Structure 1
């Protein structure tokens, strides 16, 4: 499944200085695409990400009668009818988790049967809790394995009054239900059944986006929201840069002692992964324990950075990382130990990185299996800024969220060999 292609990063041996504009936020782009599609009228989404994940979302929406124009590299112009139409074929969503979870809920508004499928990696990503909640509310769904492919038998109406969901495995389930709830015939409550929620900050992103498109959401308490049956209104929306992408550049800056201007200050991001900048800024004296649950996509960046820290770092609350594009806890463990045996080990869902500043300037013969996971590829490129001989498999997998990643490193003077 992985490409035979590799890229080797040559350590620059100089500070990385320059200006790099991160791509638009994947999380916000896919939310805004869906809400604009559910609205009646034309919405202009500016600063958007154009990548594999957003392409899968936009193609699926087009299959359901939404008109989407792309006048330039960072804009979608979306014209919706206020109702998604029955697609003629299954929706193929690759390994785009947001597209799969959000659309599985949204197609309940379609009159007819919709099949949602993905690639072999997506077939391993759980979606059972979301399906169970939909099923309890009269929306007939089928998924024999509890993972995609999923079949949703939509009736064109949402009669639910209360969605109850355990958001511990993924906040995307919660976001999917919240976005669907505004399409209900009556007010719908969305309630958490467990105390934990994977990355609550992403639910806040969802609520902000929903409100921009005309939804009315009342926060009942810490675990319950009440969504009015307003539907959505067309709206022109500016999408902020991707905080997860920014983490690689922040880390490259501290690893090389450089200064990279991203055009946006860390405090101006609303995405949860921006919290990682405060941890990165501590390097080479990062805190001994980093809690991963609320900045999940930044953990690969921080784990590789921790390899060069002065003292060991334990990463906790990583259960969600095991059900991402791959088992990222295992992939980080394996990649770090490929660089040097004993550099990392796993205890339960914790990842312990031994840390050794003398790794900087060393050489190894490491072939990093990315498991076609964009974040594994991008984070281990950071190790290549300090260690010779790191080869990263399937470098094109970064196209999932940051197609220009290798060009961005090159623009800072990093030499790449394919």
Structure 2
């Protein structure tokens, strides 16, 4: 596709199985964890297999503002050199709508000796961060967020303190990961404890712990909701980042919808990211289960919901309340856009999402001439998941296709490499 992308893309159904080999980009979740940990480590770390996207670029830029050297020798590598201590930036850190970077840095900048403001764009300023700020305050850290959302102002004291910190992780596991990653820079052991049994996507905490240990952290799990972290600091290391499981869901979905076969070069069971669990559900298409618990594979839910539109039976998605506080309210967005395709296809039921599946949907809509303009809400996952509907239904137009640059800049090129035709929809910007 041309760069820059047009304001809207029309997807032409291929009317054949998609067959080929595609290498997914590196994991956004792991890349942003590795960038931060390398910045908190003394020495030079080489991160390979990394994702270069809007979110990771924003994280790297923020680290550079705080005195860290971040070189990019090639398209999938970062070389990070640091003293192990972040410096006071000259101006606020701007993280766009990158939730991982914003939350991780809101905790990490408490180790700076001075004031740091962590901010984002208008969408980020609507995403909650209050529980993390409250947790920081309980450690004696001077952190404020008047609206309960960014911007967050932190008056760092050069270390992360010590003692016990409790966190309500019901809204996001990123709060837990943020505290855990900053904890090795304490002046004593820090115990991180959940205040409730609910935690959004616990598997991402496991990703955090694995990355921390790779950089030399000492973390002991006391019980299911408590971890003790020793004040070891971090040691620079070479770190290989695995492909992005959330990105892989679009490839698995495209193969399932079209009856094709797409080789990702990595087996589904080789992923350590929780969204890889979606492959087991996708493999059951067109007989996916009537109830799907999306709590531990949240970023995969939009993909699964689009597939559910073509399933042999209706699907109810449960455990997905946290999707309301992502880049957009993804429960509402998915329901709205399914209904643009066919009224009644998507329904919000409290915090559940109901998809009124129709295995004949593609056939029923095959002869239509109308265009369906999919609003993406500046949300990369809405754009990428609804592009899958365009593989089966003519006239699907994706608005603001460039928003996929947040995590998968080559997404449209990937579809074209599989033989999918994309056309400029001819809509004004």
TM-score bracket relative to the smaller structure: over 0.9
Q: Which residue does 2:32 correspond to in 1?
A: 30
**Within 2, Cα distance between the matches of 1:416 and 1:160?**
55
Q: CA RMSD in A?
A: 0.9
1:171 and 1:198 in contact (8 A); partners too: yes
1:370 and 1:376 in contact (8 A); partners too: yes
Q: Which residue does 2:189 correspond to in 1?
A: 187
1:286 and 1:306 in contact (8 A); partners too: yes
Q: Which residue does 2:408 correspond to in 1?
A: 402
Matched, 1:198 2:204: no
Q: Which residue does 2:236 correspond to in 1?
A: 234
Q: Which residue does 1:376 correspond to in 2?
A: 382
The one of 403, 411, 417 equivalent to 2:417 is 411
How far 1:4 moved relative to its partner? Answer: 8.1
1:191 and 1:225 in contact (8 A); partners too: yes
**Within 2, Cα distance between the matches of 1:358 and 1:381?**
19
Matched, 1:329 2:335: no
Task: Please list the CA deviations of residues 243-293 of structure 1 after superposition, one character each: whole Å capped at 9, or x if unmatched.
Answer: 000000000001011110100000000000000000000000000000011
What is the TM-score of this pair, normalised by structure 1? Answer: 0.99
Partner SS for 2:257 = helix
How far 1:158 moved relative to its partner? Answer: 2.0
Q: Which residue does 1:168 correspond to in 2?
A: 170
How far 1:27 moved relative to its partner? Answer: 0.1
Q: Which residue does 1:114 correspond to in 2?
A: 116
Q: Detail structure 1 runs of 4+ shifted over 2 Å in the superposition.
A: none
Alignment of 1:164-313 (within 5 A): 164-313=166-315
Partner SS for 1:99 = helix
Alignment of 1:50-129 (within 5 A): 50-129=52-131
For structure 1, list consecutive stretches of 5 or more residues without a partner in the other structure: none
**Within 1, Cα distance between the matches of 2:6 and 2:350?**
32
For structure 2, list consecutive stretches of 5 or more residues without a partner in the other structure: 425-429
How far 1:144 moved relative to its partner? Answer: 1.1
Deviates most, 154-163 or 204-213: 154-163
**Within 1, Cα distance between the matches of 2:161 and 2:180?**
14
**Within 2, Cα distance between the matches of 1:8 and 1:192?**
46
**Within 2, Cα distance between the matches of 1:159 and 1:209?**
22
Matched, 1:385 2:387: no
